[in-house]
Structure 1
Amino acid sequence: MSVNKAILVGRLGRDPETRYTSAGQAVCNFTLATDETYKDRNGERQKRTEWHRIVVWGKQAEIAQQYLHKGSLIFVEGRIQTRQWDDREGQKRTTVEIVANNFRMLGGRAEGGMAAGAGAGAVAGEAEPQAAAAAAGAEEMPSTEISDEDIPF
């Protein structure tokens, strides 16, 4: 038996970027910062930031593009994946990313998360977007091996 599961809570380091495969499948990429606080040898508190590459597919990718922005506080649940490709110079490149199965916006209205009001509350992961995200998560996730030919720009 094996388990590949990542759970993160952090803030977006940049606005999401969404592209579409040649088959019309949306794929959204963004970076997420998580912080760890620890004490060094001298007993002083230190903070270390870890950056994670997040990939979201399908309807969830479109929701992420619409509602997330740099600084948004979110919860992400997914799997860790290593991907390799050859860059334009022919060099073999490798990256580690979290392929999100689920994400939830946290925080207040200013942070793009839960907000008061009928329409605004739905934006935060209630009602329609939550159902759409659940439906998108229930679909079989396609392979994330995409080449430059799959992206139209």
Structure 2
Amino acid sequence: MQALRSAYRARSALSLPAATRAFSSSPAHNVAKLILTGRLAAEPELTTTSSGQEVVRYSVGTSHGPRENRQTSWFRVTSFTPEGPQRDYLLSLPKGTLVYVEADASIRAYEDAEGRRQHSLGVIQRSLEVLKRPYVPDGQHEQGPDAA
């Protein structure tokens, strides 16, 4: 920090023009980022798109407001995590897990079967962090592949 102050004073003393910020010459892209902190509504599911690509889909519920008037919003998230340990970890998360998700968001317009214009929010996972696993009382563990 001291070095920065010294450099600033030296530039001021020499009356050099202030440094300008360099910007990229590539076109600007509109980006909508979304951060969700909430609980999984169910275990994540592996599905296949119409093009044959496997994706993991899950829902996250976020709550806000006072306890007597709490509101919950549900977000359907899609993860394009490739096959491997990260995808296996995501698929192993139980319902109720508290997660922190960073995602890209986009709104798509479409017409439903009756010709009405509808909109949907697309949420594509960029990163996921488990904050807390759900509480499971002793003796009530689910029988899973690791059970003896």
TM value normalised by structure 2: 0.56
Structure 1 residue 64 corresponds to structure 2 residue 90: yes
| Letter of the 1:55 counterpart | T
- Please report how far the alpha carbon of residue 9 of structure 1 lies from its aligned counterpart in structure 2 after TM superposition: 0.7
Comparing both structures, which one devotes a greater share of its residues to helix? 1
Q: Which whole-Å CA distance do the structure 1 matches of 2:98 and 2:44 have between them?
A: 13
2:96 touches 2:134 (CA, 8 Å); kept in 1? Answer: no
Q: Is the 8 A contact 2:96 2:133 kept in 1?
A: no
How big is the shift at 1:108? 4.2
Contact 1:18 1:62 in 2 (8 A): no
Q: Which 5+ residue runs of structure 2 have no aligned equivalent?
A: 1-27, 137-148
Could you tell me which residue of structure 2 aligns to residue 11 of structure 1? 39
| Counterpart-to-counterpart distance in 2, 1:110 and 1:12 | 13
- Which is higher, the Rg of structure 1 or of structure 2? 2
CA distance in 1, matches of 2:133, 2:40: 15
Percent sequence identity is 27
Uncovered stretches (5+) of structure 1, i.e. residues with no partner:
39-43, 112-153
Q: Does 1:98 align with 2:123?
A: yes
Q: How does 1:30-109 map to 2 (within 5 A)?
A: 30-38=58-66, 46-59=69-82, 60-65=86-91, 67-84=92-109, 89=113, 94-108=119-133
- Is this contact kept in 1: 2:98–2:134, CA < 8 A? no
TM-score, length-scaled by structure 1: 0.54
Aligned residues: 104
Instruction: Quote how far apart the aligned CAs of 1:61 are.
Output: 4.4
